[in-house]
């Protein structure tokens, strides 16, 4: 039986499906629109939580039986897929505002971490917090993500560094997924740093991860991915390989925080393990770019982290994109190195500092971010059959989305075909 059309968005000035089709605007220069699936004067039909049809509005009547559907005139606005934030640390307790002041005063992130602050201070606060607080604060953060047009958010654990608190964080992520319209995709990051109590015995902590935390998380179905912070002050290549291989045995897809603070060689490890993504990449080389381009691993850029750490060594997104890599962009939302839910702002930074073209930045938070989560079949595009996660922008020209930066352009958001957010104008 054909799915019934429930909602039709009509009078769409510019529809971006991130799929096939392209009505060029004619002045894109070096930034071709190929890949955005741009249709001018378009309509989009949804039903059963999915996209059913999109195309020229003039073809709507011939193509579709939409009797009884709700018809929404979007007033010539831009419509595109809901954004996907593929790398966040949105469950945690406490604040690092004081650390921010210290960093502004000259202390480095690495120094603060080595002296037992940074991630360790969030670990203390998160261990002490009840699950209700973790859920309530994460829910507020998802509200903010949604207000910026984000409909899927990956969330990592990693502020527990012991079985009980890692489970508590992942259960908080599961609960917030249940009560909030934004979809949450959970990742185990027990290998974030070595906890203080294991400083002199790192192998025992790695044993705890591989023998206790991973099996339990997998058994309880609490995570899809296993991530490792493979960097100076965190885990070595050998340790990362061991943890990620063990995760794979338990069905968790590998991901890596790599090449951020130092050069570790983690791109080769990501490719070797068929990781879904390698994230950060400030210290990646041209050879790394070629290697990644030949793999299934998505390069995730986190310009907010470089910016917020007051550094200038932004990842070379241009080289990665020119080599043919799938390049995603994410907020890396967390209390220490990137404290913002504003994903559109990251697209602006990705253009100016990672040197992506605006077209690539639009794909980096939709189609390629979905690929980093191995969810390209269901989210990140508006092709028929995809989830009807739809962002209506209060804009007539999609190019203004990235160009007019630091403000919120969201007009409405649909999740699984249902209206979940309307921007209130004061």
Please choose, from the candidates 390, 396, 314, the residue with its C-alpha nearest in 3D space to the C-alpha of residue 354.
314
Residue 337 binds which entry of ligand NIG, Fe ion, none, CB below 5-8 Å type-dependent: ligand NIG
Q: Count of residues binding Fe ion (CB under 5 A)?
A: 1
Residue 344 binds which entry of ligand NIG, Fe ion, none, CB below 5-8 Å type-dependent: none
Query: Crossing angle of helices 163-179/119-128, nearest 10°?
Result: 80
In the shown chain, the binding pattern of residues 28 to 67 toward Fe ion, with x for contact by CB under 5 A and - for none, equals: ----------------------------------------
Residue 70: count of CB within 10 angstroms of its CB: 12
**What is the contact surface with ligand NIG in residues (CB under 6 A)?**
89, 118-119, 122, 229, 257, 260, 305, 332, 334-337
C-alpha span between 396 and 292 (Å, rounded): 36
In the complex with ligand NIG, the residue whose CB is nearer, 154 or 332, is 332
Residue 187 binds which entry of Fe ion, ligand NIG, none, CB below 5-8 Å type-dependent: none
Q: At closest approach, how far in Å is the CB of 87 from ligand NIG?
A: 7
Please choose, from the candidates 77, 8, 20, the residue with its C-alpha nearest in 3D space to the C-alpha of residue 47.
8
| Cβ-proximal residue to Fe ion, closest one | 332
Under the phi-then-psi rule, with left for phi > 0, alpha for psi from -120 to 50, and beta for the rest, what region is 281? left
Q: At closest approach, how far in Å is the CB of 115 from Fe ion?
A: 21
Q: At closest approach, how far in Å is the CB of 89 from ligand NIG?
A: 6
In the complex with ligand NIG, the residue whose CB is nearer, 226 or 362, is 226
**Piece in contact with Fe ion (CB under 5 A), picked from 196-204, 219-227, 327-335, 381-389:** 327-335
In the complex with ligand NIG, the residue whose CB is nearer, 89 or 168, is 89
Please choose, from the candidates 147, 145, 213, 148, the residue with its C-alpha nearest in 3D space to the C-alpha of residue 185.
145
Which helix H or strand E contains 147, and what residues bound it? helix 131-147
- Which residue, chain included where needed, has tokens 């639009």? 362
Please choose, from the candidates 77, 98, 158, 101, the residue with its C-alpha nearest in 3D space to the C-alpha of residue 423.
77
In the complex with ligand NIG, the residue whose CB is nearer, 118 or 358, is 118
In the complex with ligand NIG, the residue whose CB is nearer, 13 or 247, is 247
Own/partner contacts of 282-289, CB < 8 Å, gap of 24 or more, are 282/306, 282/311, 282/313, 282/314, 282/315, 283/259, 283/313, 284/259, 284/315, 284/316, 284/320, 286/319, 286/323, 288/259, 289/316, 289/319, 289/320, 289/322, 289/323, 289/325
- In the window 248-267, what residues touch Fe ion (CB under 5 A)? none
In the complex with ligand NIG, the residue whose CB is nearer, 66 or 92, is 92
Residue 157 binds which entry of Fe ion, ligand NIG, none, CB below 5-8 Å type-dependent: none
| Cβ-proximal residue to ligand NIG, closest one | 336
Residue 335 binds which entry of Fe ion, ligand NIG, none, CB below 5-8 Å type-dependent: ligand NIG
- In the window 203-222, what residues touch Fe ion (CB under 5 A)? none
C-alpha span between 359 and 380 (Å, rounded): 14
In the complex with ligand NIG, the residue whose CB is nearer, 118 or 254, is 118
Q: Is 282 in the site for Fe ion (CB under 5 A)?
A: no
Q: At closest approach, how far in Å is the CB of 118 from ligand NIG?
A: 5
In the complex with ligand NIG, the residue whose CB is nearer, 225 or 401, is 225
Residue 181 binds which entry of ligand NIG, Fe ion, none, CB below 5-8 Å type-dependent: none
In the complex with Fe ion, the residue whose CB is nearer, 5 or 256, is 256
**Residue among 227, 332, 389, 394 that touches Fe ion (CB under 5 A):** 332
Integer angstrom CA distances of residue 387 from 362, 378, 412: 18, 6, 16
Helix locations, 338-391, DSSP H: 343-352, 358-364, 367-372
**Sign of the alpha-carbon dihedral angle for 218, 221, 225, 228:** negative
Q: At closest approach, how far in Å is the CB of 100 from ligand NIG?
A: 11
Integer angstrom CA distances of residue 76 from 79, 83, 396: 9, 20, 6
Contact residues for Fe ion, defined by CB under 5 A: 332
């Amino acid at each position: 039986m054909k799915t019934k059309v429930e909602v039709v968005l009509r009078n769409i000035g510019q529809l971006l499906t991130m799929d096939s089709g392209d009505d060029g605007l004619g002045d894109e220069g070096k930034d071709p629109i190929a890949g955005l699936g741009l249709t001018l004067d378009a309509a989009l039909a949804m039903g059963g939580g999915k996209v059913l049809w999109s195309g020229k509005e003039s073809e709507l009547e011939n193509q579709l039986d939409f009797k009884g559907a709700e018809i929404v005139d979007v007033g010539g606005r831009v419509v595109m897929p809901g954004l996907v934030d593929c790398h966040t640390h949105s469950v945690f307790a406490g604040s690092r505002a004081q650390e921010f002041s210290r960093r502004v005063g000259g202390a480095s992130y690495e120094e603060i971490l080595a002296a037992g602050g940074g991630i360790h201070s969030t670990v203390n606060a998160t261990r002490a917090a009840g699950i209700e607080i973790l859920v309530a604060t994460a829910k507020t953060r998802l509200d903010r993500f949604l207000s910026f047009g984000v409909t899927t958010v990956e969330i990592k654990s990693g502020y527990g560094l012991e079985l009980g608190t890692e489970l508590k964080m992942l259960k908080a992520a599961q609960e917030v997924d249940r009560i909030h319209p934004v979809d949450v995709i959970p990742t185990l990051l027990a290998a974030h740093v070595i906890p203080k109590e294991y400083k002199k015995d790192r192998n025992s902590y790695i044993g705890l991860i591989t023998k206790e935390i991973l099996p339990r998380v997998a058994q309880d179905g609490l995570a899809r991915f296993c991530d490792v912070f493979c960097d100076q002050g965190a885990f070595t290549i050998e340790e990362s390989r061991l943890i990620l291989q063990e995760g794979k045995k338990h069905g968790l897809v590998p991901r890596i925080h790599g090449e951020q603070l130092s050069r570790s060689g983690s791109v080769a490890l990501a490719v070797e393990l068929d990781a879904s993504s390698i994230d950060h990449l400030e210290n990646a080389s041209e050879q790394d770019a070629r290697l990644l381009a030949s793999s299934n691993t998505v390069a995730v850029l986190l310009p907010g982290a470089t910016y917020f750490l007051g550094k200038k060594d932004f990842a070379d997104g241009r080289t990665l994109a020119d080599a043919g890599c799938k390049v995603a962009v994410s907020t890396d939302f967390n209390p220490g190195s990137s404290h913002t839910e504003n994903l559109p702002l990251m697209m602006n930074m990705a253009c100016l500092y990672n040197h992506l073209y605006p077209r690539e930045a639009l794909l980096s938070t939709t189609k390629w971010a979905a690929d980093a989560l191995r969810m390209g079949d269901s989210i990140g595009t508006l092709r028929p059959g995809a989830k009807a996660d739809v962002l209506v922008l209060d804009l007539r020209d999609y190019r203004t989305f990235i160009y007019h930066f630091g403000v919120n352009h969201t007009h409405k958001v649909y999740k699984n075909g249902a209206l979940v957010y309307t921007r209130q104008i004061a």
